Amino acid sequence: MDPLVYVVILNWKRPDDTAECIESVMASSYRNCHIVVVDNGSDDGSVNLLRGRFREATVLETGHNLGFAGGMNLGIEHALARGAEHVLILNNDAVVDSVALGLLVEAITSHQECGIVGPTVLSYLDRDKVSFMGGKRHWYWPAIVDFDQSVRGVVSMTIPLDVVSGCAMLVKASVFRDIGLLDTMFFMYYEDTDFCLRARAKGYLVEFVPAARVWHKISASTEGDAARRVYLRARSKAIFYRRYARGMASITTWPFLAFGTLWTVTRSLAHRQPDGSRYYLTGLMSGLRSKG
């Protein structure tokens, strides 16, 4: 019997994207899976639409927007309580290849030390364009360096990395029980990176599976709200950098962050977008002041 996989999808006012995502999972060649949709406080009729259209799926309601980590955690807890052996965290603005889930399950069960696997994430609009494969921690600041895309043609192997994307990330249930769920300090952005690094710190392998493919509509959940996206990304970046500024990074992080902030503000002003600078600086200060 194939391992039981729960696929957790978070919806927030994007029922059409979520429906396309669900349909792609339902078309998967891997059959022993259940779909859980967590509605993150939508007020646009998403719940009734999704429940009516996909009776095979479980639709949970948070009641209000808990952010990516908080909403996903509700679905993960639901999956763990019902005996999930693996949980696929999947963005609702993603579409999965029909063989992707099977390839991810095969990779994660190939050896005991493997705790997290991720696919090749490609652009939804430009189907051959790679968006993200995964990354490695930089040795002298807490940034993630994107993996070299020259391996794209390699399809018969898994590649150990430090981080894969929360756009589509398969996790062993035992990892959640060991290290906990996604950290809700990150309302949005960096929660997947933090989770992968926490797993690595406990000795789990994080691996990239090149042959598994997912197509992503990048930033669809924050489309039309650029200010919110800038604020949240800056806030989460500050929390992440502060948390992982260790060793040599404890010296280099702050000059790096200061230079990056100066560059961001200068660019915003040069493009006559002073509000962008304001939202970025407000988010950065909120993250630096936060506890955790």
Residue-level pLDDT at 124: 94
Average pLDDT in the 75-80 region? 98
Report CA torsion sign: 124, 119, 193, 9: positive
- At 273 the pLDDT is 73
Same domain as 230, residue 122: no
pLDDT at 149: 60
DSSP structure class, residue 187: S
- Looking at the fold, whether 76 and 211 belong to one and the same domain comes out as yes
* Co-location of 247 and 211 in the same domain: no
Average pLDDT over residues 251-270: 83
- Give the span between the Cα atoms of 180 and 166, in whole angstroms: 16
Please report, for the domain that includes residue 17, its CATH number.
3.90.550.10
pLDDT at 139: 74
- Looking at 182, 206, 222, the residue that finishes a domain is 222
Q: Is the pLDDT of residue 25 over 70?
A: yes
Distance CA 147, CA 245 (A): 21
Domain end position, chosen among 180, 204, 222: 222
247 and 151, same structural domain? Answer: no
Q: Are residues 153 and 276 in the same domain?
A: no
Q: 35-71 in b/e burial notation, b at 16+ Cβ within 10 A?
A: bbbbbbebeeebbebbeeebeebbbbebeebbbbbbb
* Domain region containing 92: 5-222
143-194 pLDDT, tens digit each: 788 876 655 555 558 999 999 999 999 999 999 999 999 999 999 999 999 9
Of 193, 222, 251, which residue is a domain's last?
222
- How many domains would you assign to the chain? 2
Nearest to residue 114, comparing CAs of 213, 200, 8, 210? 200
pLDDT, residue 210, reads 92
Say if residue 269 is in the same domain as residue 206. no
Q: 180 and 77 in one domain?
A: yes
Is residue 256 domain-shared with residue 170, that is, in the same domain? no
The per-residue pLDDT of the chain, averaged, comes to: 91
CB count in 10 Å sphere of residue 149: 12
Kindly state whether residues 115 and 193 are assigned to the same domain.
yes
Task: Indicate the angle between helix axes 191-201 and 226-243, nearest 10 degrees.
Answer: 20
Residue 209: exposed, middle, or buried by beta-carbon count in 10 A (0-12, 13-18, 19+)?
Answer: buried
Task: Assess whether 102 and 119 both reside in one domain.
Answer: yes
Residues 129-138, mean pLDDT to the nearest whole number: 88
User: What pLDDT score does 266 carry?
Assistant: 83
Query: Comparing 137 with 55, which gets the higher pLDDT?
Result: 55
User: Do 109 and 200 belong together in one domain?
Assistant: yes
pLDDT digits (tens, 9 = 90+) for 81-112: 999 999 999 999 999 999 999 999 999 999 89
Residues 256, 130 share a domain: no
Rg (CA), the chain: 19
pLDDT value, residue 224 = 58
Given pLDDT bands bounded at 50, 70 and 90, which one contains residue 17?
Answer: very high
33 band by pLDDT with thresholds 50, 70 and 90: very high
Of residues 19 and 246, the one with the higher pLDDT is: 19
Note the pLDDT of residue 151.
Answer: 54
With cut-offs at 50, 70 and 90, classify the pLDDT of residue 260. Answer: confident
Quick check: 24 pLDDT over 80? yes
Q: Tokens representing 151?
A: 């391996």
